[in-house]
Amino acid sequence: MTPRFVEVRRDVLKQNDITARELRARFRATGISVISLVSSPGSGKTAFLERTLAELQPRYGVAALVGDLATENDALRLRRSGALVKQIVTGTVCHLDAAMIRCALEGWLPEQLDFLFIENVGNLVCPSSFDLGEDLRLVLLSVTEGEDKPLKYPTIFNTADVAVITKIDLAEAADFDRALCERNIQSVRPGMRILGVSSKRGAGFDEWMAMLASLPRELKSP
């Protein structure tokens, strides 16, 4: 009995990809720009988001979902901006997935919104495999983490759209070599956009706000 080969050529879609695709279609239909943030714990995702929400809040409808293993601390912090914020407590799960986003949005997402931010669990490994239906994925790294972080965690940089170097007000104290860090980022993801910011002092936020303002237009263009 000789085996017979039949050609199939079918892409294996992960269940998460299917859910993410549905989410993306829904976001596009309602005109919301969705931005996710990933980084290691302590890189300053929440501080960055705090300032972002506060600066956007007067002019735009903004909301945020924040993921953590435990506590509502981040949601409480972010709510002070006046934005609509919901905490996703993952228990022991090390990342957010598309189903968690869908579940969190159930009966919560208002009709009129310009921006939805999703702060992932602090982790540079697992979130890289999970599409959340976002339009833009930011990977943050702070000046105290070492210039070679992109080389150590290439996959997350490779799946992200923009690299944000945070805490640049501490660059000198940390002896941070920005040119080297940017070279490493470009090496793992050629052509990646890079922002340098201080969430505390506000440096770099003009450029970030301009990038956000042009986002809906970019998403609408084919």
Partner 1 sequence: MHELSIALSIVEMAEEEAAARQARIRAVHLKLGRLSGVVKDALLASYDMAAAGTALEGSRLVIEEVPIVGYCAKCQARRGVDGVQWFLCPRCGSPISEILEGKELQVRALEIAE
The residues binding partner 1 (CB under 8 A) are 1-16, 126, 128-130, 151, 154-155, 158-159, 186-191
As to burial, measured by CB atoms within 10 angstroms (0-12 exposed, 13-18 middle, 19+ buried), residue 186 is middle
**Minimum CB–partner distance for residue 179 and partner 1 (Å):** 16
The residue among 124, 119, 69, 65 whose CA lies nearest residue 92 is 69
**Minimum CB–partner distance for residue 99 and partner 1 (Å):** 11
CB of 183 or CB of 220, closer to partner 1: 183
CB of 59 or CB of 152, closer to partner 1: 152
DSSP β-bridge partners for residue 62: 115
Phi/psi class of residue 42: alpha, beta or left (left: φ > 0; alpha: ψ in -120 to 50)? left
**Minimum CB–partner distance for residue 163 and partner 1 (Å):** 14
Chain centroid, CA 117 distance in Å: 7
CB 78 within 8 A of CB 85: yes
**Minimum CB–partner distance for residue 60 and partner 1 (Å):** 33
Q: What is the DSSP letter of 144?
A: T
Residue entry with tokens 């208002």? 110
Structure tokens at 12: 């294996």
CB of 151 or CB of 203, closer to partner 1: 151
Structure tokens at 104: 């969190």
CB of 32 or CB of 132, closer to partner 1: 132
**Minimum CB–partner distance for residue 45 and partner 1 (Å):** 22
CB of 61 or CB of 154, closer to partner 1: 154
